[in-house]
Amino acid sequence: MKITPKMQVEVFHLLFLQQLSGQTVANRYAIKGGCNLRFFFDSVRYSEDLDIDVAIMQKHTLENKVNKIFQSPAFLKLLQEYAIHRITFSSPKQTQTTQRWKIQLHGDFVMPLHTKIEFSRRAEKYSGELGNVTVKICQQYHLAPLRLSHYGIHEAISQKIAALAHRSQTQARDIFDLYHLLHIASPKQLSITKNTENAALLALQSIHFSDYQSQVVNFLESDRQKLFNHKNYWQEMVTTVKNYLENTS
């Protein structure tokens, strides 16, 4: 199997989750963001980073658990099967609400690959569910079936709307991800506040095709880039998301 840098970052995330899930009760964490869409909802967009909500677990317990995984010879041996020879990491943010690790993957490439893993503790209701990582992804990396805790489609849509509305810096990937989620199922119409709707619509108007190219298309594999790098497709996404938002409040 020819493995690309994007795939190496992805398999690192999967192998980390495999180790974490073996040591953590399922109702104490939930995968969110791009990895949630990629692993459970067939998104073609690779995620640069791994974001997880966590509940109950104490800060020092999680910190020790993650560091132990990264330092494990058994974990490194698994990574080496995918041409990742070693990893280095730092933990620049370790607070009661957010715990973040920055990781460098060292392989045959000139410069290391960079990724982040971030755990968040939030006050709002926690509603993760168990699900199977798609067969296609497991087969791609020759992995046994993976059953992990993640957010379901309705919660994923809510989170993406909130991200679009409230990020300090708007991201084209939120539009791409929302469009994807609205097409893979028939999600119920969510109820959001008028303020959130207005903020999301304003953000939608501020993102341009060039942003989509740099923030989304560049993170697809080359064969996919040719399919998705079209202005008409981008306009279709924007229109679909706009129509959905205007019917949610």
Each residue's pLDDT tens digit, 41-52 = 999 999 999 999
Give pLDDT, residue 249. 64
Q: To which H or E segment does residue 100 belong?
A: strand 98-107
Task: Give residue 12's pLDDT band: very low, low, confident or very high (50, 70, 90).
Answer: very high
Mean pLDDT taken over the chain: 93
pLDDT of residue 187: 65
Quote the pTM value.
0.93
Dmax over Cα atoms in the chain, in whole Å?
52
What residues pair up with 132 in beta bridges, in sequence order?
147
Give the tens place of pLDDT for each residue, 123-145.
Answer: 566 688 999 999 999 999 999 99
Pairing of strands 29-32, 50-54: antiparallel
Per-residue pLDDT at 83 exceeds 80: yes
CA nearest to 43, candidates 160, 211, 199: 160
Q: In this model, does residue 84 exceed pLDDT 60?
A: yes
CB of 107 within 8 A of CB of 28?
no
Instruction: Give all domains of the chain, ordered by start, each with its CATH number.
Output: 5-151 (3.10.450.620), 155-245 (no CATH)
Q: CA separation (Å) from 151 to 40, 82, 156, 157, 179?
A: 9, 28, 6, 10, 17
Spatial distance between the Cα atoms of 228 and 211, rounded to a whole number of angstroms: 13
Long-range contacts of 107-112 (CB under 8 A, 24+ apart): 107/8, 107/83, 108/83, 109/5, 112/88
